Structure 1
Amino acid sequence: MLRKVARRSSGLFGALFAVLTISAAVWPGIAHAYKFDTGIPDLSVQWDNTFSYNLGIRAQDCDPDICGNGKGAGDVSAHQSDRKFAKAGDIVTNRFSLLSEFSVIYKGDTGVRFSGDGWYDAAYTGGPKGDPFFLSQGINAFRNNQYTSYIDRWNRGPSGQLLDAFGFTRLHLGSVPVDVKAGQFNQFWGESIFCFVCGVAYNQGPVDIRKALTDPSAQAQELFLPRPQLSFSATINPELALAAQYFLDWSPSRLPDGGTYFGAADLLTLGGGTLVPFLGAPAVFQGQQKPAHMAGDFGVAVKWRPAWLDGTAGFYYRQYTSTFPQLVIDSASGGNLNVGVDYRAPRERMYAFSLSKQIGGISFATDLTYRNNAELAATPFSNVVAANAAGADWIPRGNVFSGVVNMIDYFGKTPLFDSATFIAEVNYAWLQGVTHDPFNLYYGLKQNCGSDGVATHHGCPTRNAVGISAQFEPIWYEVFSGVNLSMPIFFSTGLSGNSPVLFGSNQGEGSYSVGLTFDVKSKYKISLKYIGYLALHSNDNLGVASNSNSSLGKYWDRNWVSLTFQSTF
């Protein structure tokens, strides 16, 4: 039953939340927090709604290496995405959205919760665009130059999705309280703050990579999407707690769609249906190809808080199916070209440790993980020759150590600000060894990337990788009556090497943002932010397919300005 609820989220529930979004825009009175008077002291029923509007404007013209000049010289793999809004000043998003949350709670520990969001983006009323030269050669990823229904749904709308849908209660086994949850929800284990592939929570749920791109400063736990599961946690005593989860279904991490402003490649969309014209005769992109097991992932955790430690240590064991994509291009089906996104790597096993502790008034934390048989990032374009037989187990795998070390410090009033928060995190990954690589995709084709320096420059994975993220946010209170002002400043980059696993840090690749946020009477938020992207890049050796060391796509020219209004009623 839980699987059916999750899968219907794109239908009945999606339509419902889309209607709520439009209604909120037309009739703001519908969006409000409402506590129902049930007449029962122990029963709380509440409905909360958060309305948001986001206007995004491109900050610089499209790079000719990608967009071309009408006579070629562009990038055949990404011109229709980057040219969707090609000029500085173009509106890249004009989005209305509504997050709706409904909960029923009895005696504070038993109840149900539902949440969902709906959206409409007026910037995507037209189809994709591309370089005239390539289009004149018939190089078009989109039939009739129109988005697929999947791309329309997730980028324009009106549409929506179900997020949380679960029940919970507290039982008592003797004197031990046990909290139980069942349904669709998200759990985030470990201490990672910014890196969503470096800590204990790696692949604990699908990741909204679209949000990670559009909001680089978003913390990792904000990026994970709900997943159908069962879980429990039990406090054995003040020093010891146990937790476990068992997953009932699987879904892929959400990718930006081709032909949109943040599209990584024109053909890339989980929904499939786009064309692959630049590989010869047009082939249909198949979208996501499901893993062998949709259910059965699980994890167990032990939290230990001994008095002598003055902190919390965590011990974890998890088995999980990757939600991250590997692009596969083969001719396995009777000589016909098959292009899609593959998730058929077997389950990985993780052994992990976490520690959080305050030292000198500063909060420090770390996650340390060992991943057995972990999915590795293939050398760029090597998967063109990946599988020569249907269902071939081609995805390279290995044993990987990874982790994060972070700190959070709070500052009081100074002559420059009233208060401030500083967060810094170092992430790292080390490939102990390759355990499965029948097509030599991790090491065997690295000669295509040249010397070590060129290899890093072109995104080839390396044995070691280190990256850093930092955020500083000063706050000024009552700059106007009832108005607080903050200035979040964020920076993230790869310091050394390219991560051996997907979406880890790559040397010289990163993002940054700086902005101002006005909090008006704790009810309205207005944020103005400049968001930029870093990547080493070139188009040498690859002709019309420019290469970069970005972990997903070619974003070095897609800086933008974001203006957001948000209100919870």
Structure 2
Amino acid sequence: MTRPLQQPAPRRLNRSPLRPRALALASALCCALSAQAIELKSDDPDTRIRLDFTPKYSTAYRLQDPSAVLTSPAARGDGGVVNENAGDLNFKKGFVSSRFDLLTEFDYSRGNWGLRVSDAAWNDSRFLGNTGTNTAAGVNPAVSSSVGKNNQLLDAFVYLKGSLGERPATLRVGKHSVQYGETLFFGQNGIAGAQGPIDIGKILSVPNWQFKEVLLPVEQVSGTVSLSDQLTLGAYYQWKWRPSLIPGVGSYFSNQNYIGGGPVYFGAPLPPVLNTDNSKNQTPGNSGQFGAQLRWSPEGSAFEYGFYAARYHDKTPAVPVFDLINGNVHNTYAKGIETLGASVTSSIGQLNWALEGSWRHNAPLASDPAVLGGAPFMPSSQCSGDAGNPCYATGNTAHLNLSGIYVLSKSAWWDGGALLGEVAWNRTLSVLNNPSARGFGGLDPNTTRDAAALRMIFEPQYYQVRPGLDLSFPVGLGYNLAGRSSAVVNFAGGGSKVGDLSIGVKGKFQDGWNLSLNLMTYFGSANTLTVPDPLGTRMLSFGQTLRDRSYLAFSASRTF
């Protein structure tokens, strides 16, 4: 399903109470939604009923026309580019989004139990009707009218607060989000990557996101119990697998035409055209996803420790599979990944810092597309996401995330605010399956053993600039520092020495209105997602696929 530009407000997460002051401030700065709500009356003093409506309008303006390097086979000398340029060609310089959102939230609580339901609806006139560019090069048409007008059920769960024996405990059942670990931005590089699908469209289209805002709810049961004053145990079991939301083929941020798209065009020795068939996707099934955490705050210590374990199925495709035998393109998802991790967090003055490390077994590695059809391609029998028969490389990997939140004190330069930052690193420790590549489902030859990236948000805040008006000026930066990750597919956007920069202003009125204006730009060497390798197949380019898609975005919202 295509996710157009601006997305709904973040949902509440079942997360440890770590870093409460700093995280609360960071959330207030980066989300900036009014706390107004409709309180419904009840004759029972123990009952609270709240209904929130958050209407929002947003628009975005593309600042330049499509680049020939990213869209033209002639400029590239590469016929394969026609499978990766629909999203770029569908939008010239000008408005690329005109969207209305409505986020509806209902909360009911009575005594020690309650329920929560939330729903997001949207309508983007830029996506209503055909915006495709059906050219001789074979560019796929853009998203259908149903994508520009839709709704999505977010949270739908009941919860219970009580005690287990004499110790406090909580329980949630239904569709909700759970996030373990300490990550601010690089959840896919940490323990949190095991715990749910993500909204990739929101990562690409909303400046200054945090991982907790892009993590999507899933059907599960989760709970916590306090074992002592120093120890808290948490666990969850998911009974539904859901894929991450990837921008639909032909939408503004789409950089490929073969994951959920239409016909895919090839050159010799492959057939000239294969049709995408999502009904053939090799999905992992709904069972086998669970995890636990143990939080330890030693008495008298300034440190808090976390220990984690999980088993999960990947939510984004490991590779597209070009099935020459059955004449289709479909996707395969990795399953049965196991992960262990630990974290530590503490504070130094105004700075709250956290370090998280984890290890993964049987993880999907960055691989070339799989081609089925006998020699010299992969065997003609269907490969699967099973550990013994994957369509991609698998291995053991190591991951580190170091993050910090610095709370800005009042000074001559600002009234308050925050600086959030995180550095992520990963390494492929060993390759378990399909170490050779060259376009046939193995480890991509353009990857490296190690990779690192950073992301940060600096947002000074100014109160009562005018009566009833607070302003803040967020600046966001993301940059892939080193390497081309083999350990995490599409790590930090999938580029090498590339990044993004956003500069904005946000206004919050005391009557509840929130306005924002942001400039988003991308830097680094421009290239499409894949390029030919010496054998005439495809390999990952690690270039900046969004180099020509800088835009200016405006939004206005209010919660009633």
TM-score category of the 2 structures, normalised to the smaller one: 0.7 to 0.9
Aligned to 1:413: 410
Q: 1:78 to 1:565 in 2, by over 3 A?
A: same
Q: Say which of 219, 230, 233 aligns to 1:239.
A: 230
8 Å Cα contact 1:535/1:549 also seen in 2: no
Matches within 5 A, 1:520-535: 520-521=509-510, 523-535=512-524
Aligned to 2:146: 153
User: 1:305 and 2:304 equivalent?
Assistant: no
Aligned to 1:330: 322
User: 1:110 and 2:113 equivalent?
Assistant: yes
Distance of 2:180 and 2:439 partners within structure 1: 29
User: 1:502 and 2:489 equivalent?
Assistant: yes
8 Å Cα contact 2:284/2:313 also seen in 1: no
Matches within 5 A, 1:230-379: 230-269=221-260, 274-278=262-266, 280-287=271-278, 289-331=281-323, 335-343=325-333, 345-379=334-368
8 Å Cα contact 2:107/2:114 also seen in 1: yes
Q: CA deviation at 1:226?
A: 0.4
Q: 1:203 to 1:445 in 2, by over 3 A?
A: closer
Which structure exhibits the higher relative contact order, with contacts defined as CA atoms closer than 8 Å and separated by 6 or more residues?
2
Q: How far does the alpha carbon of each residue in 1:362-412 deviate from its partner, in whole angstroms, 9 at most, with x for none?
A: 101011101111111114x56674563213422211111102001111122
Aligned to 1:465: 451
User: 1:487 and 2:478 equivalent?
Assistant: no
Aligned to 1:57: 61
Aligned to 1:136: 136
* 1:463 partner letter: R
* 1:59 partner letter: L
When normalised by structure 1's length, the TM-score is 0.83
8 Å Cα contact 1:507/1:549 also seen in 2: yes
SS in structure 2 of the partner of residue 399 of structure 1 = strand
Matches within 5 A, 1:121-270: 121-130=124-133, 135-136=135-136, 139-142=138-141, 147-148=143-144, 152-154=145-147, 156-157=148-149, 159-269=150-260
Q: Say which of 527, 537, 542 aligns to 1:549.
A: 542
User: 1:389 and 2:392 equivalent?
Assistant: no
Q: Say which of 391, 395, 398 aligns to 1:398.
A: 395
Q: 1:284 to 1:93 in 2, by over 3 A?
A: same
Aligned to 1:477: 463
Q: How far does the alpha carbon of each residue in 1:139-186 deviate from its partner, in whole angstroms, 9 at most, with x for none?
A: 2434xxx745xxx433x11x1010100011123222112211100000
Q: 1:443 to 1:112 in 2, by over 3 A?
A: same
Distance of 2:238 and 2:72 partners within structure 1: 46
Gaps of at least 5 residues in structure 1 are 1-31, 450-459
SS in structure 1 of the partner of residue 203 of structure 2 = helix
Distance of 1:251 and 1:363 partners within structure 2: 33
Distance of 2:201 and 2:214 partners within structure 1: 9
User: 1:101 and 2:100 equivalent?
Assistant: no
8 Å Cα contact 1:442/1:461 also seen in 2: no
Q: How far does the alpha carbon of each residue in 1:14-70 deviate from its partner, in whole angstroms, 9 at most, with x for none?
A: xxxxxxxxxxxxxxxxxx832111110000111111111111000112101233399
Q: 1:441 to 1:179 in 2, by over 3 A?
A: farther
Report the aligned-residue RMSD: 2.7
Distance of 1:537 and 1:175 partners within structure 2: 60
Q: CA deviation at 1:330?
A: 3.2
8 Å Cα contact 1:537/1:547 also seen in 2: no
Aligned to 1:45: 49
* 1:56 partner letter: A
Q: Say which of 421, 426, 437 aligns to 1:424.
A: 421
SS in structure 2 of the partner of residue 192 of structure 1 = coil
* 2:433 partner letter: H
Does 250-259 or 302-311 show the bigger shift?
302-311
Q: 1:127 to 1:405 in 2, by over 3 A?
A: same
* 2:490 partner letter: F
Q: CA deviation at 1:320?
A: 0.5
Does 169-178 or 473-482 show the bigger shift?
169-178
Q: 1:491 to 1:383 in 2, by over 3 A?
A: farther
Q: How far does the alpha carbon of each residue in 1:473-508 deviate from its partner, in whole angstroms, 9 at most, with x for none?
A: 111111111100100001011111012211314431
Q: CA deviation at 1:538?
A: 4.4
* 2:329 partner letter: V
Q: How far does the alpha carbon of each residue in 1:97-142 deviate from its partner, in whole angstroms, 9 at most, with x for none?
A: 01100011012x3111100100000111232333x7xx235x2434
Q: How far does the alpha carbon of each residue in 1:509-568 deviate from its partner, in whole angstroms, 9 at most, with x for none?
A: 222211000011161110000012234334775799997415xx7211101000000110
8 Å Cα contact 1:487/1:517 also seen in 2: yes
* 2:461 partner letter: I
Q: CA deviation at 1:252?
A: 0.5
8 Å Cα contact 2:435/2:442 also seen in 1: no
8 Å Cα contact 1:538/1:546 also seen in 2: no
8 Å Cα contact 1:327/1:339 also seen in 2: no
8 Å Cα contact 2:319/2:367 also seen in 1: no
8 Å Cα contact 1:328/1:387 also seen in 2: no
Distance of 2:511 and 2:479 partners within structure 1: 33
Q: Say which of 52, 56, 80 aligns to 2:86.
A: 80
Q: CA deviation at 1:286?
A: 1.8
When normalised by structure 2's length, the TM-score is 0.84
Q: Percent identity of the aligned residues?
A: 26
Q: 1:249 to 1:37 in 2, by over 3 A?
A: same
